[in-house]
Amino acid sequence: MTAGASVPQKAMVLAAGLGKRMRPITDIIPKPLVSVAGKPLIDWSLDALAEAGVPLAVVNVHHLADKMEAHLKRRTAPRVVISDEREELLDSAGGIVRALPSLGDEPFFILNADTFWIDGATSNLRRLAARWNDGRMDILLMLAAPGQATGHTGRGDFVMDGEGRLVRFRDGAGSPFIYAGAAIIHPRVFANASGGPESLNRYFDRAIAESRLYGMQIDGLWLTVGTPDAIGEAEAVLAAKV
């Protein structure tokens, strides 16, 4: 932890995707408004930010944007600023670049609107903030081990060394971790961004090449809800924790 470090005061919630794997539900409901255990997915993210003390969240919208905006107007904590991508879907990094004027010059959280987690003893976002080291890191990812994940069907994304540095997972090369849809990123990484559609994976790989991509394993359970079947799986896990 860098001396004097505190919880980032702003966050970007990536909520503009089409949710194709969630069809036919997402033909009429934007994916971030799909409910799990009676709560829309995006509210799981926004509630986690509020609990961690983050006062402002920028949310990008594209698919069924009017419904997203109507829902988000009801939020008071955190305060929500809309980043409008109705005209062009900009992908994960492009959406962040569009929102940079609202996000400022300091490190900020990134959250995916279709994943959430059950904290252990301490807020995982607060733990992530405590781990941030501006001198060593450009990006710090929250990670889940496969045994902590529900709804994930991939093989894993990264391998982490003893200091938390990350490289891409390759078959047979270390124990895999899954990117758990939350991170802290410094806006300096976007200094030369085009402003067009592009993926965050490009920036992850650049940070790996510069040994500035780090990770932190979550304390608790991580749930990703990408398909209709995953809703029931997530609700079963939540019910078992009550």
Residue 161 counted as domain residue: yes
The pLDDT-based confidence of 1 (bands split at 50, 70, 90) is: very low
What is the mean pLDDT of the segment spanning 160-187? 89
Helix 65-72 to helix 41-52 angle (10° resolution) is 40
Q: CATH number, domain at 82?
A: 3.90.550.10
Number of domains in the chain: 1
Residue 242 confidence (pLDDT): 59
pLDDT digits (tens, 9 = 90+) for 44-60: 999 999 999 999 999 99
Residue 2 lies in a domain: no
Torsion sign over Cα 35, 36, 39, 40: negative
The helix or strand, by DSSP H or E, that contains position 184, with its residue range, turns out to be strand 178-185
Distances (CA, A) of 38 to 25, 71, 107, 181: 15, 14, 32, 21
Q: What is the mean pLDDT of residues 172-187?
A: 90
User: 5 lies in a domain?
Assistant: no
- Say what the pTM is: 0.92
pLDDT at 89: 80
> Is the residue at 20 inside a domain?
yes
> What whole-number distance in Å separates Cα of residue 144 and Cα of residue 47?
20
Residue 171 lies in a domain: yes
224 belongs to a structural domain: yes
Examine residue 38 and state whether it is found in any structural domain, yes or no: yes
Is residue 1 in a domain? no
Domain that holds residue 26: 10-241
